[in-house]
Amino acid sequence: MTWNAQGGNKWETVRSYLLKDADILALQEVNTPPVDFVTHDEMTRLSNTGDTSTTPSGLPSLKYKVFTKSYGAGDRSGVNGRIFYVDILDKNLWGSGGSGNDEDPDTQKNTQKSMAMWVNSAVAANFDALQDIKIVTPRSDNNKWIRSRPAVGVRINGTWYFNIHAASIRNDVIPNPHAKALTQAVVDAVGNEPWRVLGDFNSEARSFRKQVRTSTYYAARNGKPDGVPVGTQQSGFSLDFMTAGEQLTNLAVSISSRGGSDHQPVRFAPAGTRECMPDWDSRTLYDPAALAARAAQSEDACVGVDAVVSMGDSYISGEGGRWQGNGAGELSYRSRQGSAFGTDRAAFDCTGTGSGKDEVCEHDPKRVYGESASGAEMCHRSDLAPIKSVGDVLGIPADRRFNIACSGATTTDVTDNTFKGEEPQVKQLAKIAAENNVK
């Protein structure tokens, strides 16, 4: 998967959404790292701060530092992995000397943007950080591109996957020269090993396929490999795609509308692989042979930990028909003097004989319904709702028993309408099911 995040403030989207559908995630324009990164995680053997290369006019090369850290979704999905963050340094730290202008507009403006690669632990059991990561800078054309972003690659199960963010040199007819140079540099670096290059090519996908590599893969408007590419950037251009050293089979390419960037995430996966999160569209299949077999193999790909969910109105939320915290209003939750005849669990500090005539109690519905007792929500989700005992029977922990039923809900509130400040219950269910195996 690849995504130009347009800044470093979208790590929550990465963590909560993209990681669940990725084995390898190539990120561009992540200008600040995740908040829990620290400098002692630097991979000094990969950082190039000591590089003395220059352009023919004496300008020093772009400088970067590489950091690594364990990084996962941080929720019940159990998705974990390792991230490699390539911090592009300010141009003032590259060195001095030389003259002339840069080909790369980002270098001219000192707006080079950092990059990252994330690898899912599930597919990288044998990953060796000493052998299975490369950072490649094109050396062609007399070091013309040493002041532009490099290609960042990881090797998973014998195949190299490189992340690129080409210079902002865009033409919908002529392929980006930096993207071409990066691709060729990858070819030269990996020898006879299989490879993929994915990312923001700053080049129109169909032109790149026609003029550079026929084994180029993008999402098409009509879902067919020879179709018009879907725009992946707000300009309407299809800039985010993948190219490979060979023709790929059983490949599905799709894009997502989520993320909040000026680019859309693009996913490349074996055809038929289950998508764990919603909103993947414009699915385009490349040579989808054996699709059914792949689908069968992937049936459990997104199954998480077990959970139970209750949906509906007051009866299932734990209020209706139970007289549990449901005494008459004038005697119960308004805290007026009166009696709930000893049956109201919201009652406390009662005095009197208990006959119902002289009993006086304090009442606090939050003792039964928690935060759903009052205010804008008032869904009245009881601490003794049926979902609680069902969870006991199934052996599901309390934190995975989801009560999304709401007092007063109707069928349309379950299926379509926002009700008491909450999304329709079916939408809530979809989010829970994306992270859990709902029983």
**Among the three residues 298, 327, 345, which one is the final residue of a domain in this structure?**
298
Contact 123, 157 (CB under 8 A): yes
- Residue 96: CB atoms within 10 Å: 8
My answer on whether 270 and 342 are in the same domain is no
**Separation between Cα atoms, residue 292 and residue 304, nearest integer Å:** 23
**Among the three residues 298, 316, 350, which one is the final residue of a domain in this structure?**
298
pLDDT exceeds cutoff 60 at 164: yes
The residues, ordered by sequence, that sit 6+ positions from 411 with a Cβ below 8 Å of its Cβ are none
My answer on whether 250 and 397 are in the same domain is no
Report yes or no on whether pTM surpasses 0.75: no
My answer on whether 200 and 294 are in the same domain is yes
Contact 165, 189 (CB under 8 A): no
My answer on whether 342 and 287 are in the same domain is no
- pLDDT tens readout for residues 44-86: 999 999 999 999 999 999 999 999 999 988 766 678 999 999 9
Count of domains observed in the chain: 2
My answer on whether 147 and 46 are in the same domain is yes
Domain that holds residue 98: 2-298
Contact 258, 13 (CB under 8 A): yes
C-alpha angle 392/398/120, rounded to 5°? Answer: 120
- pLDDT tens readout for residues 116-127: 999 999 888 888
**Separation between Cα atoms, residue 429 and residue 418, nearest integer Å:** 14
Contact 325, 383 (CB under 8 A): no
**Among the three residues 298, 324, 352, which one is the final residue of a domain in this structure?**
298
My answer on whether 186 and 260 are in the same domain is yes
My answer on whether 206 and 284 are in the same domain is yes
CATH number for the domain spanning 170: value is: 3.60.10.10
My answer on whether 289 and 331 are in the same domain is no
pLDDT at residue 135 in the model: 98
My answer on whether 286 and 388 are in the same domain is no
My answer on whether 169 and 24 are in the same domain is yes
pLDDT at residue 119 in the model: 96
My answer on whether 411 and 272 are in the same domain is no
Token pair recorded at residue 76: 């019940």
pLDDT bucket at 292, cuts 50 / 70 / 90: very low
My answer on whether 39 and 169 are in the same domain is yes
Q: Which helix (H) or strand (E) holds 269?
A: strand 266-270
